[in-house]
Amino acid sequence: MDRQQISRLAHADHPIAAPLDDDSVRRLLARAVPGDGARVLDLGCGGGEWLLRALTGHPRLVAEGVDISESALDHAREAADRLGVADRLTLHRADAARFAAAHRFDLVLCVGSTHAFGGLPATLAAAREHLAPGGRVLVGDGFWEREPSPEAVEMLGDLSDLPTTLGRVVADGWTPVGGHISTRGELDAYEWSWTGALAAWALDHPTDPDRAQALETATAHRNGWLRAYRDCLGFLCLVLRPTDA
């Protein structure tokens, strides 16, 4: 199994690939979508869950998603068909950092995918290029809730604490107009779902040649979460508008 197949199995019960519950996603979208008829872009859209929820909630909204994972995009396409919103969704298999669109967007999303750009500042710089006048960005990224262990930094990269993260975003010319800090419950629920769905798949497929790999991956992920980063990682979503647009 490659990483994309593992990710699909691990997200079976938690289609938003980030530590947010359904209510948090709903409230963030309500804050971020500028209105029905908006044009929305998701950079690193994965299975398209944010866009699918925006599309089903706004009958005139049109959306585009960008991801490098063909299997994630297939999943988004099938779900859009099933939900009757496929005619308003365009999917691009591309590197989000190199994606050039034909037009600008009223909302640019990038949740849990800032690594595609090399971090939050570069993500916001790219998002700004896609933004129409009056547009908003909804970005989600990790931060250090507490001093990280060297192991956590090695696994998750060079994050900063919450006030420093916000200070840098504001200094970069953005004003937060909404946001959400994932609760410990949301963070734990996401990890339990990720590891649990993958492990359950392995147990449900005792003769599958990928069973051992799935079980090992679930165990390694759970150990990394509990040993390296559960006590120091937070997750922040921000709804941003350019300060001087």
Ligand X SMILES: C[S@@+](CC[C@H](N)C(=O)[O-])C[C@H]1O[C@@H](n2cnc3c(N)ncnc32)[C@H](O)[C@@H]1O
44: left (phi over 0), alpha (psi -120 to 50) or beta: left
**Comparing C-alpha atoms, which of 74, 62, 10 is closest to residue 36?**
62
Count residues binding ligand X (CB under 6 A): 20
In whole angstroms, what is the distance from residue 67 CA to residue 237 CA? 20
Contacts to ligand X from residues 80-109, by CB under 6 A? 95-97
- Among the listed residues 76, 116, 126, 187, the single contact to ligand X using CB under 6 A: 116
Contacts to ligand X from residues 210-229, by CB under 6 A? none
**Encoding tokens for residue 51?**
């866009």
- Note whether 131 binds ligand X by CB under 6 A: no
User: Where are the strands (E) in 34-154, listed by range?
Assistant: 39-43, 62-67, 89-93, 105-111, 131-144
Q: Which of residues 113 and 165 has its CB atom nearest to ligand X in the complex?
A: 113
- Note whether 68 binds ligand X by CB under 6 A: yes
In whole angstroms, what is the distance from residue 58 CA to residue 37 CA? 8
- Among the listed residues 19, 112, 135, 234, the single contact to ligand X using CB under 6 A: 112
Contacts to ligand X from residues 3-62, by CB under 6 A? 16-18, 44-46, 49-50
- Among the listed residues 24, 63, 113, 240, the single contact to ligand X using CB under 6 A: 113
**Encoding tokens for residue 117?**
């750009």
Q: Which of residues 50 and 105 has its CB atom nearest to ligand X in the complex?
A: 50
> Is 88 in a helix, a strand, or coil?
helix
- Note whether 191 binds ligand X by CB under 6 A: no
CA–CA distance from 20 to each of 114, 179, 232 (Å)?
16, 12, 17
List residues near ligand X by CB under 6 A.
Answer: 16-18, 44-46, 49-50, 66-69, 72, 95-97, 111-113, 116
